Amino acid sequence: MHDIKRSAVSAVSYLLKHFPCVVVLGARQVGKTTLLKQVLPNKPFFDLESRTDCERIQRDPEFFLSQQEGPTVIDEAQTLPALFSALRVAIDRHRDKKGLYLLSGSSSPDLLKHITESLAGRAAIFELSGFGLEEAWKLPVNPLYDLLAKKNAGGILALKPRLDNNRILESCLFGSYPEPFLTQRKDTKAFYLWMENYFTSYIRRDIRNLFPGLNIENYQKFVAMLAGASGQLLNASDFARSLDISQPTVKSYFQIAHGTFVWRLLPSFHKNISKRVIKMPKGHMRDTGLLNHILHIGAAQQLQSHPAYGRIWETFIIEELLKGFGNALLPVAPFFYRTTNNAEIDLILEGDFGLLPIEIKAGSLTASRNLIALEQFIHEQKLPFGLVINNSLQPAWLTPKILQIPAGYL
């Protein structure tokens, strides 16, 4: 276990005070086990990938839970589906108590179904991603996300920079999986081997176990194609032709990649829009380290000169924003926006605070012509402001309603 405190500790601890059960979901190797142990370091811990722990609980889940007197931590809960109905019984026996169970789960087609069917109203779900910038570089909690939710532009303008561009680029290059970022990024060969093993394990172990009838070779080719299409509009027919499979099969592949936290599907935003919008989905690989590995990008200079750099940078910033809002317990739904006239906004976040449109640029200056779609959207939706996130030096108003935030402030 590394000694870096996960930013999600506060969020998960808060949820435990308000729900009988909290389930932490996420891809393998993003640090779920570490997080569980940081949230409840001195409580009984059971790992269902351990044969001994699994057999003990599997023998009689209801009896096992009845013997636990305080908060109990169960790792890799998707391994034992029978656990969830037993949890419902145990929770209902002490319905007024909070913080009884802290679980983790990796991707599984049935996991969310078990949670929603057996633990509806009893469990909070928290999705954990890899390191955010503040974790990777051991920074204090960032107040930016609360300020954005409160639409406090003055508070944002008063913030101080947190990282220089070199460190941000390093995070974009190596991604957010804790182990390779902390221990392998200084050794190119070791980092390559870690990523190659991760990708192989994802395809050959996780996907094979979760979807035993799936054509593994086709799915592996599909994921490689995803890397090339990351940050672009998705046309299922193009994938179907290239892989010589049906469009329904391609759509199921997209669902698998999204559900296993490797890929993020961004739907088109078209609520209360008077213009004609493109409703095709967009998507991206969620970890830029894995994305760069598949694209054979291994150095910062190579990344910045790569034809896909703009899209990779956009992916990196989107995921960083979503981590920040998530850790602040400010749920947001991400969308992209593009009209048939090619007016485009990279990211629109919808939350309790309303809408927040965001344009993402890799350069330090943003030309006025690149702000037209953003300005029009802000006006049409009657929003207080929108954002441009780039590599500039300090926050500033670019127009009366467009606020620039440097990536170094995230």
Residue 248: predicted pLDDT: 92
List, for residues 120-169, the tens digit of each pLDDT value: 888 999 999 999 999 999 999 999 999 999 999 999 999 999 999 999 99
* Cα distances (angstroms) measured from residue 56 to each of 46, 65, 86, 120: 10, 11, 14, 26
Coil, strand or helix at 133: helix
Does 274 have pLDDT greater than 80? no
Q: What is the mean pLDDT of residues 236-250?
A: 92
pLDDT bracket for residue 349 (50, 70, 90): very high
List, for residues 324-347, the tens digit of each pLDDT value: 999 999 999 999 998 888 888 999
| Residues above pLDDT 70, as percent of the chain | 98
Residue 108: predicted pLDDT: 64
Does 272 have pLDDT greater than 80? no
Rounded to the nearest integer, the mean pLDDT of the chain is: 92
CA 31 to chain centre: 13
Does 229 have pLDDT greater than 80? yes
Contact 16, 39 (CB under 8 A): yes
Residue 377: predicted pLDDT: 93
Does 8 have pLDDT greater than 90? yes
CA 346 to chain centre: 17
Residue 59 sits at the vertex; the CA angle it makes with 115 and 205, to the nearest 5 degrees, is: 60
Residue ranges per structural domain of the chain: 8-127, 133-409
pLDDT bracket for residue 285 (50, 70, 90): very high
The number of beta carbons lying within 10 Å of the beta carbon of residue 116 is 13
List, for residues 10-59, the tens digit of each pLDDT value: 999 999 999 999 999 999 899 999 999 999 999 999 999 899 999 999 99
Closest C-alpha to 104, from 181, 152, 32: 32
The rounded distance, in Å, linking the Cα atoms of 356 and 326 is 15
Tokens describing residue 155 = 């508070």
Q: What is the mean pLDDT of residues 379-407?
A: 95
pLDDT bracket for residue 110 (50, 70, 90): low
The rounded distance, in Å, linking the Cα atoms of 41 and 56 is 22
284: part of which helix (H) or strand (E)? strand 282-285
The rounded distance, in Å, linking the Cα atoms of 344 and 367 is 15
The rounded distance, in Å, linking the Cα atoms of 275 and 258 is 29
8: part of which helix (H) or strand (E)? helix 8-16
Residue 194: predicted pLDDT: 96
pLDDT bracket for residue 222 (50, 70, 90): very high
Residue 46: predicted pLDDT: 95
Closest C-alpha to 311, from 277, 360, 274, 356: 360
Q: The pTM is what?
A: 0.94
pLDDT bracket for residue 259 (50, 70, 90): confident
CATH class of 8-127: alpha beta
Residue 2: predicted pLDDT: 65
pLDDT bracket for residue 113 (50, 70, 90): confident
Residue 99: predicted pLDDT: 92
